[in-house]
Amino acid sequence: MGLSAKHIFITGGVTSSLGKGIIAASLAKLLQSRGISVTIQKFDPYLNIDPGTLNPYEHGECYVTEDGAETDLDLGHYERFLNATTSQDNNVTTGRIYNNVITKERKGEFLGKTVQVVPHITDEIKNNFYKLGRDGKYDVIITEIGGCVGDIESLPFVEAVRQARWDLGPNNILVIHLTLIPYLSAAKELKTKPTQHSVKQLLEAGVQPDILVCRTEHHLPSDVKKKIALFCNVQLNCVIEAMDATSIYDVPLLMKKERLDERVMSKLKISSKSNTELEQWKDFLGRLKNPTMEVDVALIGKYVSLPDAYKSIIESFIHAGTSLECKVNLHLISSEEVNKDNVDKKLQDMDGVLVAPGFGIRGLAGKLDAVKFARINQIPYFGICLGMQIAVIEFANNVLGLAEASSTEIKPDCKDPVIFLMEGQKDITQMGGTMRLGSYPCELVKGSRAFTAYGKQKITERHRHRYEFNNKYLKEFEKHGMIASGKNPDKGLVEIVEIKDHPWFVGTQFHPEYKSTVLNPHPLFVRFIKAMIDKKQNKS
């Protein structure tokens, strides 16, 4: 089979949203800090080919990788923790598995065989399990199985994990099961029965977990740990307590304290290549918990009732704020609740305004009012993707005097389409994976705010959009003070706009939040926060 990597599978039980992604990322961080080369992949049990067409309310944000894959938001955690990039191969859905198998069947690759879940679907799942481990680049592959053990759609994945034990052999595979130990306040008791049932379901599918990571709001006394170990058939030192943490960035150190990495290395027979190198991580946590100042930022968007819809932006503020020893208080404001009459009241106490990415017409008027308020009142402004396009439309309406200016996404027949559909997008009827996706180069104008932030002229950033700035209007914009400070060198497309006579007013066509990590905060977020700090200090 040509497999060189060892495999760790992480499943979840009792309830969803226990934080498998954070545990996976934390374990990977601990292994990485010991000099072990590691990557993480996520297998999602839904039938969508990818999360690109899912409403953020369904599944949180859609995270875009360097190679243009629309993936699960957990891949964002993986990149932020590991400071390494992921790809199309790091996120696989049931939809993609079935699509691959059906495509092969139509081509006649199964030679007249009856195509079944076992072995054809499970073989395809295993093939994807092993893909990243074939080239010898990684010592360890961590695979997170989405959903909850016991769900119908998860069964083929659990079956594939069962088979993987036989493929890989002892010392090359490990199963970690993440579970919940609820606390009944009336009885003042921690209850292990849901965990026992969850492990029983795994055992019924032929999978014995090696390590149990138990999410809990209270410390697990030794008698509770002993009970779990006894009834779930695991070693006592493999019952790991995962207490609720104040920050997701605490979790690697909490898991280190519980010796999760040691248990894993012992079972997989991996010897540590170096002493644990977590000094930078501890330094980051120290600054995160001891800010010397704070700023208030309004995030204007239409999915604010589910903060996960803006996960990467929220984390980018944490990374950048921490680098400046500044606590960023994010105020998520629904764009549908902002209008001309209340925009002053909602934004007057804010040190900065960010208009978030999004699609469609809903909440548009509120975003335009927020941009105008920030521009006129000299409040630092950051517009991402649609946030940049809204800034362009507002500037065209109120500075260039083009009252009819708009985007063809909003008004297909508008008189002045300052934002319009790219030529290559006009004939596309399918929704999934058809946007301008992934990493593209951008050249910055020397002396611009963007150039100052990055400190270099050539950059690459990730995209996820269909509509672009209409270059026909560029001269008019620049004449009135909104410049294109970043352009795609191949097609001349405008990537960044900024207003010169303003403390900090920047809009980007790309999504900078996808590239921010704990150890490398994104320069635009850093500069945006710096501008807010400067403005606040000047005011006082």
Q: Coil, helix or strand for 18?
A: coil
The answer to whether the annotation marks 363 as part of a ligand binding site is: no
Length of the chain: 540
From residue 273, how far is each of 23, 35, 135, 188, 316 by CA, in Å? 22, 5, 20, 44, 31
The answer to whether the annotation marks 409 as part of a ligand binding site is: yes
DSSP 8-state secondary structure symbol assigned to residue 423: G
Least Cα distance to 213 among 231, 197, 234 occurs for: 234
- The partner residues of 448 in beta bridges, in order of sequence, read none
d(CA 156, CA 95): 13
The answer to whether the annotation marks 448 as part of a ligand binding site is: no
- Secondary structure of 456-517 in HEC code, one letter for each residue: CCEEEEEEEECEEECHHHHHHHHHCCEEEEEECCCCCCEEEEEECCCCCEEEECCCHHHHCC
Q: Where are the beta strands (DSSP E) in 244-308?
A: 293-301
The answer to whether the annotation marks 386 as part of a ligand binding site is: yes
Q: 293-301 and 326-334: which strand pairing?
A: parallel
Q: Is 197 a catalytic residue?
A: no
Of 77, 465, 502, 511, the active-site residue reads: 511
The answer to whether the annotation marks 22 as part of a ligand binding site is: yes
Measured at the alpha carbon of residue 78, what is the angle toward residues 225 and 125, in degrees to the nearest 5?
Answer: 85
Q: 38-44 and 140-145: which strand pairing?
A: parallel
The answer to whether the annotation marks 387 as part of a ligand binding site is: yes
The answer to whether the annotation marks 277 as part of a ligand binding site is: no
The answer to whether the annotation marks 486 as part of a ligand binding site is: no
Give the CA-trace dihedral at 518, 523, 524, 529, to 10 degrees.
70
Is the preceding omega at residue 119 within 30 degrees of 0, hence cis?
yes
The answer to whether the annotation marks 367 as part of a ligand binding site is: no
The answer to whether the annotation marks 458 as part of a ligand binding site is: no
The answer to whether the annotation marks 193 as part of a ligand binding site is: yes
Of 79, 385, 442, 522, the active-site residue reads: 385
The answer to whether the annotation marks 152 as part of a ligand binding site is: yes
The answer to whether the annotation marks 245 as part of a ligand binding site is: yes
Q: Is 385 a catalytic residue?
A: yes
The answer to whether the annotation marks 195 as part of a ligand binding site is: yes
d(CA 105, CA 3): 26
The answer to whether the annotation marks 131 as part of a ligand binding site is: no
Q: Is 214 a catalytic residue?
A: no
The answer to whether the annotation marks 16 as part of a ligand binding site is: yes
The answer to whether the annotation marks 192 as part of a ligand binding site is: yes
Q: Which residue type occupies 194?
A: P
The answer to whether the annotation marks 265 as part of a ligand binding site is: no
Contacts of residue 426, Cβ cutoff 8 Å, sequence gap at least 6: none
The answer to whether the annotation marks 227 as part of a ligand binding site is: yes
**Annotated binding-site positions for CTP:** 16, 151-153, 191-196, 227
**Annotated binding-site positions for UTP:** 16, 191-196, 227
**Annotated binding-site positions for ATP:** 17-22, 74, 245
**Annotated binding-site positions:** 16-22, 57, 74, 144, 151-153, 191-196, 227, 245, 358, 386-389, 409, 466
Catalytic residues: 385, 511, 513
**Annotated binding-site positions for L-glutamine:** 57, 358, 386-389, 409, 466
